Amino acid sequence: MADEAVRVRGLRKRYAGGVEALRGLDLCVQTAQVYGVVGPDGAGKTTLMKVLAGVVSFQAEEARVLGRPVPEGLSEVRHHIGYLPQRFSLYGDLTVEENLDFYAALYPPDPEGRRTKQELLEMIGLDPFRDRMAADLSGGMKQKLALLCNLVHRPSLLLMDEPTVGVDPVSRREFWTLVFELQRGGLTVLASTPYMDEAEQFDRVALLSEGRLLREGTPEEIRASVPGVVLELGCEQPFQAARCLEGTQGIQDVQLFGDRLHLFAAQDAPGLRQALEERLGQAGLRIQRLRVVPFSIEDVFLRLTA
């Protein structure tokens, strides 16, 4: 199927030590989607990327990338794929420009299909740093350069394993702004991330846990996929308040969200708000704000995995 950039069915992976990283995964990424994979540590996110990049063995009923079966058909499409693993190797003792030259040399020459160095450097504001050694770049700039190295050959599919870890909020925005621009040019992206605010912006999200799919869909569908309500509670001492509210009747879970609490409940039952007020009041804590808020993907993640 030309419209499917990635298709796996019944994907399994057992490592030599016996660890079962993937336990029967079905997943489909359409062309020109930005598709996110999220999940707790050990959920199988990295293994999934490695399978699709053709670097680990696996079992599956079906596994296709850009229409070709993995791994035997990968060689035909490898030059259309970019793969940014968690620790992408830049050459620290080469400059920004030399790193781009190096990665360009890895792919078959295709003068028309190539992006020029200038074009790449200007894409994300690395032009002023072209002569700087990669080792001397900040964490955010290193990840931007790693991305550029994977764009030289104008891939149609980009696999990225937690590309923005360690990247500051401003650089993170710039990184994703570029990715979404490339998407409008037809690029398909499969990316894992520990940042749930990033997942909110993807076209579709797969929530993995222990090698299985817990949820899959658009962010709207994921947000609507758990029953109950979230009450957002603002107060002076959220940490103490969280302790105090654990075990309150009608409250299934209490989670800190920045300077406020998210309380998960089956429903916004009559009397619940008063019960919360009384319980906190006994501990000398006062509610500043209490309201029902929509579920976020982070709420869903916490409800299903914590």
Partner 1 sequence: MSDLVVDVRDLTRRFGSFVAVDRVSFQIPRGTIFGFLGPNGAGKSTTIRMLLGILPVSEGEGRVLGFDIRTSSEEIRARVGYMSQRFSLYEDLTVLENLHFFGGVFGLSGARLDQKVRDLVEMTRLEGFEQQLAQGLPGGIRQRLALAASLLHDPEIVFLDEPTGAVDPALRRYFWERIAELSASGRTVMVTSHYMDEVERCHDICFIHHGRILAQGSPGLLKSRHLPGEMWQVRTPVRAEVAAHLSRVPGVSGAFPSGEMVRYLLDPGFDPAAPAAALSASGLTCSAPEPAEPTLEDVFVALSRKRGAS
Residues that bind partner 1 (CB under 8 A): 15, 17, 38-42, 46, 86, 137-141, 162, 165-174, 180, 194-197, 200-201, 238-239, 255-259, 294, 296, 298, 301-302, 305-306
Pair 148, 101: CB distance under 8 Å? no
Least CB distance to partner 1 at residue 44 (A): 10
**Neighbour count for residue 242 (Cβ, 10 Å):** 17
Tell me if residue 13 falls in helix, strand or coil: strand
- For partner 1, the closer of residues 4 and 20 by Cβ is 20
Least CB distance to partner 1 at residue 36 (A): 13
- For partner 1, the closer of residues 173 and 286 by Cβ is 173
Total residue count of the chain as it appears in this document: 306
- For partner 1, the closer of residues 47 and 99 by Cβ is 47
Least CB distance to partner 1 at residue 172 (A): 7
The residue whose two tokens read 């781009």 is: 100
Cβ neighbours of residue 17 under 8 Å, at least 6 residues apart?
none
Name the DSSP class of 162: S
Least CB distance to partner 1 at residue 243 (A): 9
Least CB distance to partner 1 at residue 148 (A): 16
- For partner 1, the closer of residues 4 and 210 by Cβ is 210
Least CB distance to partner 1 at residue 23 (A): 16
- Dist. CA 24–CA 118, nearest whole Å: 44
- For partner 1, the closer of residues 75 and 89 by Cβ is 89
Measured between alpha carbons, how far is residue 163 from residues 1, 122, 172, 180, 222 in Å?
28, 20, 9, 14, 22
- For partner 1, the closer of residues 102 and 180 by Cβ is 180
Burial environment of residue 85 by CB neighbours within 10 A (0 to 12, 13 to 18, 19 or more): middle
